[in-house]
Structure 1
């Protein structure tokens, strides 16, 4: 975009009662101090935006004479098309003119917004304006026209391990999302790793507390000897205990049979003397002869069966008594006590040996805990590595972007980022010339710095706009800027003079 000033008309603007300025490719404004050179710069900015050269509200009223109305009109040519913009101030009220037609403020501002961005235009026109803005706005303006390095470019500039890892992960998530994921994961894994370490430590302490004092081999040798002795005793008395047990069983069975025999002896007289029932138990009628005979036969059958059962008991008892007579009870109490004493020695040894089995389980738990601890640490280190890699990514991205921005400048140093103690990259914006901050530059240095910076903005935005160099007498040599050049110089003893080079 080509922006040119054609003509500026001032009426009652500060010291200028009636002034017309025709601009050329180079316009020189000379004169002694207080001749109104800077007022021409202020008039242009006031016409467009109603502010002074520093972005503050401007009072354009004359100070050396009285006037009811202030009016300024600026004729511009943008890409070959002329547009006239004017601003009037009368009794505190502002009026706007577009191509000499009275217009509303909204219409006037819409025209300006369509033509160019306010801050960019003022930075191109007035080299000092850029430095009046907040550093975040300055940084934004510079970066608006600088493409950030692509992820692939940054990955390539990182150490191979970091670049390869992030390139792989970035296929699924953005770098910002990866940072959130692994910061959250790191916080969780920090706690999990502490818990895993604690569990491993606790298991090892329990393992040491429960470890037997006697070696397992010694316990097994002692146990083997005691078990052998016990088994020999038990084997030697086993047949005797079986015989003794049989004797006890026989005695018990014989006693039971004798009890049955005595009971049956008591029951037999009752059965034998039981009277024959000659009447019906239901109707109480006398039974006939045949019925009586049947009742008698039924009683005889019961007596016969009773005697048979009695005889079986007697025969069985005699058989058992004969078997018992052939057996001899042997007292093995002493041997049993010896076996019991041996078992009492065996029990604590087996308990100690059982601890070794429990220790094996403990050892397995410890090994698993160590595996879990190792796996957690590996995951934690992985997240830490990714977080550190992302920090390096942002650092390298900032470095590459800063290098790209810095490549536009010859004499200025631009700082876009600063690294914090934790490694994070924080945005900033600082300008230096020859190692000095802008605020410490001399007048001539600050003008040269402003011209170089506005030239970069002009090149990157592809906008050629007029530039007003005030106090031009303070610099003897500078690179001719793109666009129209308007220079204001102090010449002692000279009245205001304006020369436009066509």
Structure 2
């Protein structure tokens, strides 16, 4: 789209009570200082955005006289289609006009937004405006028209190993997510690797404290097996002796029990034998008849017979048990117990040797396992470090290629889009425009104007928007390249009234 200014009308705008400006392909504004030269382009930005040409708030009311209303009207064409826009200020209240029809602010702003975006227009209209933006906005404004190099284009410039690992990884994740994943993994593996190293070192120190003596462990185990076999045989023999002694003790205990019963029986015999036969009733004291006396005698005889039978039975049992006990032998196991202890003691050094050998082997296995874990963690850590280094190289090459694309847009200016951190070498977004090796902020007035005009034309070409361009203080610059679109220049001419001259191509 090409925007052209046709006519500008100012009523009570700052020092201009009533001014009409007709624009040509080249419009020259000249005059002494304080004659209102800068107010003319400012009125256009105020009309469109209520700001000056640098985007700052602006009060359009005159300072030297009182007025009820201020009005700015601009007739312009957009690709040949004319549009008359107006903004006024009446008793402090804003007024808007579209083709002389009073309109609401929203309608007016929508029409302006359809023509161009605010910061883009101000950058094209005032070549110095762009450099007042924060560098992030400057960078974004320029890069929105330049596509970043595609991954394949960047990868082919990297070393083969880096290119291959990134090509595989970028099938699953974009470069930003891939970097986050491996930064997180690196941080975790850094800590895990330190812990793994500590574990391996501790186990190795424990292993070093044990000496792996050269021994025939199989022979030792075989010798110990023979000792254990002998101990088991002796223990079986001791168990057999214990069982026999148990039987001996049991018979002996039974004999003693029967002997106690015999002794008790002996004590009962005199009582029965010497029992006196009474001829009177023990209860009523009445004399017993002869038949009753005989019955008492018969009862005593009976009890004496029963006693003798029981007593003889006990004697017989005792003799039988003694006879059985005589057939048994009580075995003294003290020597057997000492022999078991002696044989078992011979196995203790062998068991200790086997224990130390087993402990050494176990620790050796743990050391090897810990070392393998440590190596695996280190390999994983190195893989993430390699990918992060590859990403760093990718970003650096991407920045370089993107910088080349942007740089190709300019003829005399150089543009820096990235910077490299000194500490970690990370590539970070940045923005700096230089001319002849000097940053824009250090340029002289004339150099700054030339730099602004070149940048302005790049933005115009890339955005495919042509607008008028205003160059202030044109007297400070002897030559510059004609920008595309209409050109409005302002010069200070001592002792001259405001003069406006429109020149066609």
Give me the TM-score of the superposition, normalised by structure 2: 0.77
Instruction: Describe how 1:130-169 pairs up with structure 2 within 5 A.
Output: 130-169=130-169
* Number of the residue aligned with 2:380: 379
Aligned to 1:27: 26
Contact 2:128 2:449 in 1 (8 A): yes
- Give 3-state SS (helix, strand or coil) of 2:97's partner: strand
Cα distance in 2 for residues equivalent to 1:171 and 1:332: 83
2:71 and 2:89 in contact (8 A); partners too: yes
Q: Is the 8 A contact 1:226 1:342 kept in 2?
A: no
- Equivalent residue number for residue 363 of structure 2: 362
Determine the structure 1 residue equivalent to 2:443.
Answer: 441
Superposed, 1:110-129 pairs within 5 Å as 110-129=110-129
Q: Please give the per-residue CA displacement for 1:21-42, whole angstroms capped at 9, x wherever unaligned.
A: 2222x22314332343322222
- Cα-to-partner distance string for 1:411-462 (whole Å, 9 max, x where unaligned): 2122222222233333222221112221221111011000000111011101
Of residues 425, 428, 432 in structure 1, which corresponds to 2:427?
425
1:485 is matched with: 487
| Count of aligned pairs | 475
Local SS of the residue matching 1:217: coil
- Shift in Å, 1:238: 11
Aligned 8 A contact 1:29 1:37 in 2: no
> What is the correspondence of 1:385-400 to structure 2 with a 5 Å cutoff?
385-400=386-401
Give the 5 Å matches for 1:254-333: 333=335
* Cα distance between partner residues in 2 of 1:68 and 1:260: 144
| Larger deviation, residues 392-401 vs 220-229 | 220-229
Distance 2:353 2:372 in 1: 29
The 1:340–1:111 alpha-carbon spacing in structure 2 relative to 1, beyond 3 Å, is same
Counterpart of 1:16?
A: 16
For 1:372 and 1:479, how far apart are their aligned partners in 2? 68
Kept in 1, the 8 Å contact 2:472–2:491? The answer is: yes
1:405 alignment partner in structure 2: 406
In the TM superposition, residue 319 of structure 1 has moved relative to its aligned partner by 9.8
In structure 2, the partner of 1:284 is none
Instruction: Give structure 2 stretches of 5+ with no counterpart.
Output: 264-311
Per-residue deviation, 1:374? 1.4
Work out the CA distance in 2 between the residues paired with 1:394 and 1:497. Answer: 52
1:356 Cα deviation (Å)? 0.5
Q: Give the match's secondary structure for 1:399.
A: helix
Matched, 1:47 2:50: no
TM-superposed CA distance for 1:467, in Å, is 0.9
Gaps of 5+ in 1: 267-306
How far, CA to CA, are the matches of 2:83 and 2:221 in structure 1?
114
- Once residues 416 and 395 of structure 1 are traced to their aligned partners in structure 2, the CA distance between those partners, rounded to angstroms, is 11
**SS at the partner of 2:465?**
coil
Partner SS for 1:186 = helix
Q: Is the 8 A contact 1:125 1:465 kept in 2?
A: yes
8 Å CA contact retained: 2:5, 2:77: yes
